Structure 1
Amino acid sequence: MAVSTAIASPSDSNLLRYKFTSPYKYSKLDQTNQHIRLLRVRPAADAPSFRQLGQKWDLPNCNMEIFKLDQAPPYIALSYVWGDKSSGTAGILLDGQKFEITTSLYIFLDLFRSDTFSQEVAYIWIDQICIDQSDLDERSYAVRFMSSVYSNAEYVVVWLGDDEETEKAAKAFYFTRLWIIQELLLARTVIINCRETWGLHLSSVQFHVQKYQDKIYSRIRNPSLFLLWDSVYNREGRHLAQCLQRYCQNDCQDPRDKVYALLGLVKAEEQVPIDYSKSVSEVYIDTLQILARRWWLQTPTDFDNIGRPAFIGVAVSLAKEMFTYASLPGLWALLRPVRSLPGFKWYIKVFQHLSEHEQRDARKSLKQS
């Protein structure tokens, strides 16, 4: 049964003035055994109450538990827009400790804990909470198996927002996010919710999908729509080049995720190592190395045409094999969508110089023949 949507949205100034214990400290995950954290949201009746200025707040009360991914209990994976913390935050209780989240996510948890669906599937995976975002090593580890988190979930719940204006903005932005490519494509079942039409029960799944189908498709950028259509027929791994080319229009806050957010769809032999301690340029060089191993066919003998000395080391590391002349047009088409990103255009010049070298050699061969 759906719950009332007339739930107060506690602001940062109200909620975070309460005295909690020390800020939440994460326990380390066993990365060798694919451990993940799942959030258990306690029913509203179990929530501690606080009073301030005559108002009563019942904080979402949650516990964090660690499981091996292949032994985890049934859980929901949340797909949503993070939002900007500068526009509002709120606190929850997490293992008795304060944990700050965006207001939109707070509203979702407030609704979820009051719905009987939370008793049927008690655990939920939310990246904002279940990943220690301050730990770059853990972020890298988590993204490596993000696709498994979403594909193993009983349901992927799409959260579009908490009020009319926010919902409109969320709908417009949500379906342009790069991360939804794997979040929705790999899901067993998708449930779409906003505060206006809340309802997580299995009987509501078809209703929500049908209700929002036209709106969803009208707001998905063409590459995303292509992927969702393609997913009906193709569940096999895709080529890295194919993903970069088709879905480059989708947005992400971290430029490194232009690559990382797609790896859940990419063939095993074309995986780019995930490491958030690397700079944007280093991540793109890693990507180019994967592409180079895929496409280069012969070893260059001359780098005279590389104008900047700084490019030589990069070129040598990439150029274990050389692109054939015939493959170059496809490469340029592939790299064009991401070449304008910060730092990346300089590495494109490596390929530009190498292609000029290859074309010159090709012309020489034609003359000699």
Structure 2
Amino acid sequence: MSFPSDVPLKLPRYKYKPLERNKKQMRLIELSPMLEEGTIHCTLEAFDFAELPGYIALSYTSGPPTPVHGVEIDECHITVRENLYHFLQQYRKEDEPEVYLWIDQISIDQSNIDERSSQVQFMRDIYQKSDSVITWLGDGSSTESTRMRYEAAKQFNETKGIKSLANICNMSISTDYGSFKRFYSEKISEYLYTTCGPHGAR
């Protein structure tokens, strides 16, 4: 795991451009290649739901409120919690093909209560319209709790859907990271990929 760069925190705070009120819109993230100093760079772009490109949606646990790390957007910065930062590092390190991402902590202006409320209403559509969903279980540094999560999530292929996976997690997992919050009782995507650090289960 690369050591988090503090360069973005020295940049001005990123100011979100409001989504258009009369349209159903969402923001997608495009990650730039990882630079040597470890800084995470990305851009944000708003799309109408009727004209969405292909994208991957992320499901993850928020984790503790501290520490936070900076992510650079258009020569400004936002802060994200450590669990999400570890995902972004891992995703870039894996040299994944260029594809848009949807991540609530970045795609939604967390300081805008009205926007947060309206985007929550679209959450089911956001996951259903995605090309795939990644469930990020952590970077694997907390071996026992993460192993339990990973083993539970691997059983997804033997279950009847997201509801079953959620039940597995709720029954089997009680950790300081909290339980999964973003599973729905119906199918949310054609393809779900579970990853724990560098390990994945399809």
TM range (shorter): 0.7 to 0.9
Matched-pair identity in %? 31
Q: Which residue of 2 aligns with 1:29?
A: 19
Large movers: runs of 4+ above 6 Å: none
In 2 relative to 1, CA 167–109 (structure 1 residues): closer, same or farther, beyond 3 Å? farther
Query: Is 2:100 aligned against 1:97?
Result: no
**1:194 deviation in Å?**
1.0
Tell me how far apart the structure 1 counterparts of residues 9 and 126 of structure 2 sit (CA, whole Å).
34
Letter in 1 for 2:113: L
Query: Is 2:43 aligned against 1:63?
Result: yes
Q: Gaps spanning 5+ residues in structure 2: where?
A: 150-172
More strand by share: 2
Tell me how far apart the structure 1 counterparts of residues 180 and 3 of structure 2 sit (CA, whole Å).
25
Q: Which residue of 2 aligns with 1:19?
A: 10
Query: Is 2:17 aligned against 1:38?
Result: no
Alignment of 1:189-228 (within 5 A): 189-198=191-200, 208-209=201-202
**CA-to-aligned-CA distance 1:7-65 (integer Å, 9 cap, x gap):** 2242xxx6268521x10100000132211100000122xx3x5xxxxxxx220110001
Tell me how far apart the structure 1 counterparts of residues 199 and 123 of structure 2 sit (CA, whole Å).
28
Q: Which residue of 2 aligns with 1:179?
A: 182
In 2 relative to 1, CA 168–9 (structure 1 residues): closer, same or farther, beyond 3 Å? farther
More helix by share: 1
Query: Is 2:10 aligned against 1:8?
Result: no
Tell me which of the two structures has the higher relative contact order, counting C-alpha pairs closer than 8 angstroms and 6 or more residues apart: 2
Tell me how far apart the structure 1 counterparts of residues 110 and 88 of structure 2 sit (CA, whole Å).
19
**CA-to-aligned-CA distance 1:182-240 (integer Å, 9 cap, x gap):** 6x731221000011415xxxxxxxxx13xxxxxxxxxxxxxxxxxxxxxxxxxxxxxxx
Query: Is 2:125 aligned against 1:148?
Result: yes
Give the match's secondary structure for 1:104.
Answer: helix
Q: Any conservation in 1 of the 2:135–2:192 contact (CA below 8 Å)?
A: yes
Q: Gaps spanning 5+ residues in structure 1: where?
A: 1-6, 50-56, 199-207, 210-369
Query: Is 2:77 aligned against 1:77?
Result: no
Tell me how far apart the structure 1 counterparts of residues 49 and 31 of structure 2 sit (CA, whole Å).
19
Letter in 2 for 1:90: H
Normalised by the length of structure 1, the TM-score is 0.44
Tell me how far apart the structure 1 counterparts of residues 105 and 10 of structure 2 sit (CA, whole Å).
22
Tell me how far apart the structure 2 counterparts of residues 108 and 144 of structure 1 sit (CA, whole Å).
25
Tell me how far apart the structure 2 counterparts of residues 39 and 164 of structure 1 sit (CA, whole Å).
26
Q: How much is the aligned-residue C-alpha RMSD, in angstroms?
A: 2.4
**1:139 deviation in Å?**
0.8
Q: Which residue of 1 aligns with 2:136?
A: 159
**1:144 deviation in Å?**
1.1
Normalised by the length of structure 2, the TM-score is 0.78
Q: Any conservation in 2 of the 1:36–1:67 contact (CA below 8 Å)?
A: yes
